[in-house]
Amino acid sequence: MNVFETVNGRLFMDGVDLAELAAEFGTPLYVMSRSVIDDRIAELKRDFTERYPNARAAYASKAFLCTALCHIVDEAGLSLDVVSGGELFTSIRAKFPAERIEFHGNNKTRAELELAVGYGVGRIIVDAPGELDLIEDVVGSKYGHEQKSGDSLCAPSNDVAYRPRVLFRVNPDVESDTHDHISTGHGNSKFGFSYDSAELFDLIGRAIRSNIVDFEGIHFHVGSQLFTNDSRLAALRRALGILKEVKIRYGYDTPELNIGGGFAIRYTSDDDPRPFGFYLEPVMREVEEYCAAEGLKPPAVVVEPGRSIVGEAGVTLYTVGAIRETRADERKGNGSLRAPDASAQSARKFVAVDGGMTDNIRPALYGAKYEAVVANRADKPATEVVTVVGKCCESGDRLIEGARLQTVAPGDILAVYSTGAYGYSMASNYNKLPLPAVALVENGKARLIVRRQSYEDMLSRDLPL
């Protein structure tokens, strides 16, 4: 769904003038399109959950989470994947149905597990040695069946037979064609149990025999922003081998197979993401054929899309401030003025905005690429090549290298595309910059779903000497 249009030279998103929105709510400002989110969920349902029996999708909340987003996911009937006490607490505050929450994380604390058990989450994904012991101890101590924390959100449960369903995250030892920082299925990953380890099968056997938890299945995730399906299918074959071995060892049909997410989106015109069906049709075909050949009961298949639901639904608006042009013969390292040579940096035009790495760390963290437009002059030709930089006290605070923009001036509104995922959720207060607000737009209307952080908000937890 293309929700962008230019009217009288100004960029509109979902019927809302972005320059006017910046004037109303201030900048930096995250803007999310409800129409794009709904469209992506509708595609996922059409090509997966409504096409295949017993298929399910859990939104990966690490991409972007707030109370309003929990409500959108709930209304769509999706499950919710959380990885921390904070994400879980957000879902509880939003009254998201507990049975549709999956709790991930490679180092869950006891306090987090107590909150999860107290709320009665549907699934806990075991990711590390000793975690099953901790879960059984928390459940066995009947935490959640009585009010211990004094937190009214963690209401006592009348169901004394609550048994969390557990899955085991496996490391399939496959390489994915993506940045190292977001590749999660290789042999040296910090996540999961080796797919062929004795420890894994011993723990599965324990869970099957347990009178405290129910063994639900296997989970893997091979990485993020994947344009091809190769690593996912390679991991799938190893995961199916685990299901076969569980059946041989324990006579048990594994109920669920969670294949994670990682579906790519478009950040720049060079990207060519594929629809959900491109990735999921081969997966479902392989599961069906393997189970038929091996005499296994086909498991429910679960996916966990995050970025692919919200990434292209978001833009970030900035106000342009200082503009500076450098020369190729500027002073170098030791302070001497050198003539340009082959090793000298070329001249640059720096366009500084009122945000930066605090609201989008991805370019500094792993060289993520973005495209942008001057929202109040969107119909003009993009004739300038500039470096868009932030206001943080770091030379690496560069949002876009080689950005092609319309002629830009101080006071212009810059719109950076495809920032709906991992912008707000990874934002920080470095240099004591306040966290931006988040606006939701739909059919020509806009409203805040997260208010801007104030200076007072930032200092509200400070204590005097």
The domain spans of the chain are: 4-30+311-459, 34-310
Q: Is 238 helix (H, G, I), strand (E, B) or coil?
A: helix
Distance CA 114, CA 136 (A): 11
The pTM assigned to this predicted structure is 0.90
pLDDT of residue 345: 53
- Please list the residues that pair with 404 across neighbouring strands: 385
Domains 4-30+311-459 and 34-310 share a fold: no
Contact indicator for 160, 142 with CB cutoff of 8 Å = yes
pLDDT of residue 329: 53
Contact indicator for 448, 438 with CB cutoff of 8 Å = yes
Beta strands (DSSP E) in 159-220 are 165-171, 193-194, 214-219
Q: What is the pLDDT of residues 385-417, one digit of tens each?
A: 999 999 999 999 999 999 999 999 999 999 999
Residues 6 or more apart in contact with residue 50 via CB below 8 angstroms: none
Distance CA 397, CA 30 (A): 18
Among residues 66, 154, 392, 393, which one is catalytic? 393
pLDDT of residue 99: 97
Distance CA 73, CA 58 (A): 9
pLDDT of residue 278: 95
pLDDT of residue 173: 81
pLDDT of residue 161: 63
Q: 169 pLDDT exceeds 90?
A: yes
Distance CA 359, CA 189 (A): 27
Q: What share of the chain is helix, strand, coil (3-state, %, to 5)?
A: 30, 25, 45
Say which CATH superfamily domain 34-310 falls into: Alanine racemase (3.20.20.10)
CATH architecture of the domain with residue range 4-30+311-459: Beta Barrel (2.40)
Q: 92 pLDDT exceeds 70?
A: yes
Residues 6 or more apart in contact with residue 364 via CB below 8 angstroms: 357, 394, 396, 397, 398
Q: What is the pLDDT of residues 19-57, one digit of tens each?
A: 999 999 999 999 999 999 999 999 999 999 999 999 999
Contact indicator for 94, 338 with CB cutoff of 8 Å = no
Q: What is the pLDDT of residues 281-314, one digit of tens each?
A: 999 999 999 999 999 999 999 999 999 999 999 9
Q: Is 414 helix (H, G, I), strand (E, B) or coil?
A: strand
pLDDT of residue 452: 98
Q: What is the pLDDT of residues 447-465, one digit of tens each?
A: 999 999 999 999 999 999 9
Q: 326 pLDDT exceeds 70?
A: yes
pLDDT of residue 2: 85
Q: 340 pLDDT exceeds 50?
A: no
The reply to whether 154 belongs to the active site is: no
Q: 197 pLDDT exceeds 70?
A: yes
Mean pLDDT of the chain: 90
pLDDT of residue 188: 62
pLDDT bin (cut points 50, 70, 90) of residue 225 is confident
Contact indicator for 400, 415 with CB cutoff of 8 Å = no
